[in-house]
Structure 1
Amino acid sequence: MTEIDIGARLKTIREERGLSQRELAQRAGVTNGLISLIERNMTSPSINTLKKILEILDTTLSDFFAQGERSEPDRFVFRHDELTEINPGRVYRAATAESLRALSFKRVGRSDNTNLLMLYETYDPGADTGEDAYSHEGEEGGVVISGELLLTVGDRTELLHAGDAYHFDSRIPHRFRNISSEPCIVVSACTPPTF
């Protein structure tokens, strides 16, 4: 297994995002000196510290350590256990901790250099993206694979069942909920990628 230069990798991603060491440190709640030490490989961050830093850089631990995947530009198949778990709390900040624990978003493919975000979503009973509807640039659509999903777009609410689909302008505030006693599985896509 090839050893990853954590410092160089962190510096590259930070610079790609247009952040200074000071800006990154402030947003992540760590010291500027720590970022500098990590980038110079003078210290190894704990997993929790690295996760906090990478969250600001909109990168997951698995993406950070999966640099070998970049050498597979022709790759088009991603097995279920290779999908990257996305923290829904990064997007749905108005959701309660309990309802966020009932959500699972797994991204298909890599997050870099793509115009499409595809997700395999699991909404356990009680999952809710938050009382405050969420909106963002672009459009999104999805298909309910199993279970039921209560979808609100603007001032309209619809209950979707397995086989039903949705497609809407994402600039309209929207909310997803599972009000049933069974899990709901959705495969969705949005463009441009939001996370």
Structure 2
Amino acid sequence: MFDRPRLLQLFRERALKFGDFTLASGKKAKYYLDGKQITLHSEGLRLVSQGLLELMQGVECSAVGGMSIGADPIVAGILTVAAEQGKSLDGFLVRKESKGHGTQKYVEGPIQPGDKVVIVEDVVTTGGSSILAVDRVREFGAEVVLVLAIIDRMEGGRQNFADKNLPFQSLLTIEDFGLQPPQA
């Protein structure tokens, strides 16, 4: 069972930082949520994986994956928790750039064209990284049925997913930390 209060506590202790930051989206921010401080921590990854797997309940899919490097530990964690629960699930990783040798694929893992998959992300601002992963997975031939994030910064990502007919859910939002999204 996902322990939401404990995950919030871990984020406050390990991953929420204040200052002047430039996000992956290019936006400027006064706070930063470093998801890797959670997904590369044993208890944090377990909590995240349990929570995301709960959000996947009732979703018809055979695999979970996302943009490498951020999604790598999340994918591994979800696969481990799924196995502990007796659920069969494959994982995959999406490269930002194809490797210059071998198969030169963007999508790595045991998924096949036609598979229904879920994309995972640590922190969503505008959703750009996840949308790139979705585009690569669609080009591969798989169907994206859901996008999941640990945290939604509430800065346009949800709307950008909706504009592409992509269902989106997150475990937490910035409001869970007492922060407000910037006014447009």
Give the TM-score band, short-chain normalised: under 0.3
Higher helix fraction (1 or 2): 2
Greater radius of gyration (CA): 1
TM-score, reference length from structure 1: 0.23
